[in-house]
Structure 1
Amino acid sequence: MPPSPAGPPPADGLLSAARRNLRELAQGLSHASHPPTPLFADSPRRWLRLLPYALVLALTAIFVPVTITVLINDYGVQGGLAGALAVGQAAPMLMLAHRPLQAWWIVFTADVVGAVVLLGQGLRPDALWPWTPPGLVGCLFVLLALGLRESRRTVIGVWLATGTACLLLFLVRPSHGNSSALLLFVLGGVALVIGAAVRERSDAQRRLVEQETISEAERAQRTLLEERTRIARELHDVVAHHMSVITVQADSAPYRVEGLSEEARAEFASIAAGARESLAEMRRLLSVLRSDGSRSELAPQPGLDRAQQLVEATVRAGLPAELSLASDVREALERGGVPQAVDLSAYRIVQEALANVVRHAPGARTRVSVTVRDGHLTVLVVNDRPEAPGSPLETSGTGHGLVGMRERVRLTGGTLDTGPLPDGGFRVAARLPLPPPLPPSASATSEEP
């Protein structure tokens, strides 16, 4: 026999859900959903922080005397009683800046008490009841403040409580022609919806700004990690060559040098073994850093000897650029006085600087100069103000390119100075330390086979 289709939910389930919803509404009506801080409390502008206090003071100063006047002249309430009702209905507006829910409880109670008092005053046929005109407008301000600050659950609870009071008071005197019960229920709902919509939109914008800030920080961190990984790969290619040379020299030393003692042979063997172990460890590390299928990393690493090709490619892209490579730099490159890590870092800095000019200042004349001074290799890239302002390929920069430059400079122990120029251009200056030159005797010894 096939199972019967599921029937309606059991009654106890509906009752438990109703009780749970009522408890949530009661919780929302009795507990504020935000700390007692006014709107714009975190604003850096002082006048914006003081604005909520100025508004509630103005509302209170207006509604207290207006309510007293209306109760005395239009409803015939005695002066003392009118003053007490006006204070209860309007004075709590001073709390709207930081405690709107508590203000609503006081105003709502005072309005209900005022409606009961007006029953014994012999209302005129054209008089609004149960809510007086100033009481109606003041209550709308209170509801608007609630919508701006409280949660959706609290807003629904306030609207239902207001509607219940309106219904009960209307049933007490349904024959009164100018009843304001339905009017407050409808307009109060509109005020609550407007306030809640503004609050939720403000919260969404705040969360969007926070997410954008987090995303930008994550992008900067990712760029930093990617550049470090790239540097690690290139550093492996630089160091691995020297470690291989050390291994070959240590292995071949017993065959090239005659008359070595057993201790010297063992020492050379230990050096060769240590070099092999270091090289194997670097290769294992590179296997983690290097992405699978990457073939470009097998090519020789570029250096300053290819800077002219880099500048020529930039000129072909439409950027007027020129390179000044000092003669002492050429001599240092020819005799191997520039470490490969410094040579590679200098090339990458020139490459990134020219790419930034193409992206942010197309058409700007750019000068690249490389010199050797005081034991440092100085790389200077300066571009003038672009000829056509407002036409960059990227209108805003993230600064991620400078992150890679700083990492490379820090790798070599140098310094980096970047910033705009007074005439509208930009300057990138890197100082990379060079090893001290070897004395002639040591240089001659190193060249011997």
Structure 2
Amino acid sequence: MKTPTEADARAFALRQLRALRHHLTTPSEDETPLLGDSRRRWVRRLPYIVVIALQGSLIPTGIANLVGFYDLVLPVAAALTIAQTTPLFLAVTRPLTAWWISAAAMVATASITARHHQLMGSWPWTAPMIIAYVFLLLALALRESRATVVSVWVATVLLTALTTTLGLPRSGDGTTVLLIALSGAALLLGWAVRDRAVARRLLTEQEHISEAERERRTLLEERARIARELHDVVAHHMSVIAVQAASAPYRITGVPDEAAEEFTAIAGTARESLAEMRRLLGVLRSEESGGEKAPQPGVSQLAQLVETVGRAGVPAQLTVEPDLVDLVPQAVGLSTYRIVQEALANVVRHAPGARTWVSLTADGPALLVTVVNAPPPERTESLEASVEGTGQGLVGMRERVRLVDGRLDTGPLPDGGFKVAAVLPLDRPDTPRETTA
């Protein structure tokens, strides 16, 4: 085992002095006034009220002590007392800077009272000065880090040792011990109060996190409840529609071939709706939709979609540029399908029987999606004419377009028709932002 040498001891002492200097010259970055985070106005003003009260009592008594017991002239006594007590105002926001001023005043006072003393000649500082210094250390301990608090106490011990080199305190005097003890007690008290406040703040933050977790759990439970209700109500009726439509040609005699095909189409549409709803229920029952495994619809499914609305009485025509299907990313393709689906659904609801044109073209790095419908035939009422629209369809389109950083333009045409035009980027990397049906 290597025995420490004198050089090692000097290096260790030098490192400790550097650490002490660093902590004494690096104040806290938080310049919020003491108790400035309180919601109560009177609590925020309390530090200033305490400082004013201390100033009003310590300055007159401090000057009187220096003049009466140390035979100092009034200007010098007033200067020393004010230099020791005024930093209390600065301690509310910058306690470490205030401590440097106060420490310098303490050293200056000790050097002067060492040569001017009468009855209290063995005390390098007056009682008001010690009280002001202790309150300043209390404010410092409430704001600064533990390392800074320890460094300040060590510096206070060194400060009292410096007064000894100036000739004070005299043999048997307890002033040095009193200052060290009071300063240590003030720093320890402020340290404990600050740690308690930090612990309470962390506990409050943990309670907020727990509350957020409870709200999240409540949200998941509500989503599961909605999923159960959708399954119990909507799925039941859709299943009945699918079964009745599929079995109608066999239960009813003499059904024409066209009617049988219509029943078959209704049954197929009901089954597709059930599949879509099952995917939606899967999303509602889980926090994330990452478990969705079924392939999502895209541009290649638009022909089937147009055919479906054609059977619903809306003559629609689809135009897609050749080889465009391979150029569309999955996320853009899904948004395109949903936009066209919602636009055609609006035509079925609000303009039944109107001719509709759907076109997809590439314009450089963008995909142009257009759905235009002509005015509905005369004397044709909207299927939702008696229901006040909510506008959720257009909102959903805008959300789809926003997800892929595109643009949407919708509005009526002069001839009474309606237009939906979207510009979607083709060069956008395929991301998993939108995976739900």
Pairwise same-fold verdict (TM > 0.5): yes
Partner of 1:318: none
TM superposition shift of 1:280: 3.6
Distance 1:154 1:134 in 2: 25
Q: Which one of 89, 94, 108 corresponds to residue 89 of structure 2?
A: 94
Letter in 2 for 1:234: E
What's the C-alpha RMSD, in Å, of the aligned pairs?
3.2
Q: Which moved more, 1:206-215 or 1:254-263?
A: 254-263
Partner of 2:267: 272
TM superposition shift of 1:49: 2.3
Distance 1:285 1:10 in 2: 76
Partner of 2:372: none
Partner of 2:227: 232
| Residue 127 (1) aligns with residue 113 (2) | no
| Residue 154 (1) aligns with residue 148 (2) | yes
Q: Which one of 140, 165, 177 corresponds to residue 159 of structure 2?
A: 165
Change in CA separation of 1:216 and 1:182 when aligned onto 2, cut-off 3 Å: same
Partner of 1:106: 101
Contact 1:56-1:96 within 8 A present in 2 as well: no
Partner of 1:252: 247
Q: How does 1:288-437 map to 2 (within 5 A)?
A: none
Letter in 2 for 1:89: Q
Partner of 2:132: 138
Contact 1:130-1:179 within 8 A present in 2 as well: no
Change in CA separation of 1:240 and 1:23 when aligned onto 2, cut-off 3 Å: farther
Contact 2:55-2:86 within 8 A present in 1 as well: yes
TM superposition shift of 1:37: 2.9
Change in CA separation of 1:220 and 1:130 when aligned onto 2, cut-off 3 Å: same
Letter in 1 for 2:55: T
Partner of 1:57: 52
Distance 2:12 2:214 in 1: 46
Distance 2:200 2:9 in 1: 37
User: How many percent of aligned residue pairs carry the same amino acid?
Assistant: 51
Contact 2:84-2:106 within 8 A present in 1 as well: yes
Contact 1:126-1:178 within 8 A present in 2 as well: no
Contact 1:126-1:177 within 8 A present in 2 as well: no
Distance 1:250 1:14 in 2: 96
TM superposition shift of 1:128: 3.7
Partner of 2:43: 48
Contact 1:170-1:179 within 8 A present in 2 as well: no
Distance 1:246 1:58 in 2: 84
TM superposition shift of 1:281: 4.2
Q: Which one of 190, 196, 199 corresponds to residue 195 of structure 1?
A: 190
Q: Which runs of 5+ in 1 are unaligned?
A: 1-5, 292-449
Letter in 2 for 1:80: P
Kindly provide the CA deviation profile for residues 236-265 of structure 1, in whole angstroms up to 9, marking residues without a partner as x.
122222122111111112223344444332
Change in CA separation of 1:288 and 1:42 when aligned onto 2, cut-off 3 Å: closer
TM superposition shift of 1:152: 1.1
TM superposition shift of 1:16: 8.7
Contact 2:84-2:105 within 8 A present in 1 as well: yes
Kindly provide the CA deviation profile for residues 388-446 of structure 1, in whole angstroms up to 9, marking residues without a partner as x.
xxxxxxxxxxxxxxxxxxxxxxxxxxxxxxxxxxxxxxxxxxxxxxxxxxxxxxxxxxx
TM-score, L = length of structure 2: 0.58
Contact 1:148-1:195 within 8 A present in 2 as well: yes
Partner of 1:37: 32
Three-state SS of the structure 1 residue aligned to 2:125 is: coil
Three-state SS of the structure 1 residue aligned to 2:213 is: helix
Three-state SS of the structure 1 residue aligned to 2:86 is: helix
| Residue 72 (1) aligns with residue 52 (2) | no
Kindly provide the CA deviation profile for residues 246-300 of structure 1, in whole angstroms up to 9, marking residues without a partner as x.
1111111222334444433222222222222333444455567669xxxxxxxxx
Contact 1:100-1:146 within 8 A present in 2 as well: yes
Three-state SS of the structure 1 residue aligned to 2:153 is: helix
Distance 2:8 2:207 in 1: 43
Letter in 1 for 2:161: L
Change in CA separation of 1:290 and 1:119 when aligned onto 2, cut-off 3 Å: closer
Three-state SS of the structure 2 residue aligned to 1:33 is: coil
Distance 2:272 2:281 in 1: 14
Distance 2:188 2:271 in 1: 74
Contact 2:88-2:98 within 8 A present in 1 as well: yes
TM superposition shift of 1:61: 1.6
TM superposition shift of 1:22: 5.2
Letter in 2 for 1:150: E
Contact 1:148-1:198 within 8 A present in 2 as well: yes
Q: Which one of 196, 201, 211 corresponds to residue 206 of structure 1?
A: 201
- Count residues with an aligned counterpart: 285
Contact 1:60-1:94 within 8 A present in 2 as well: no
Distance 1:213 1:285 in 2: 31
Three-state SS of the structure 2 residue aligned to 1:186 is: helix
Three-state SS of the structure 2 residue aligned to 1:141 is: helix
Contact 2:59-2:85 within 8 A present in 1 as well: yes
Distance 1:11 1:268 in 2: 102
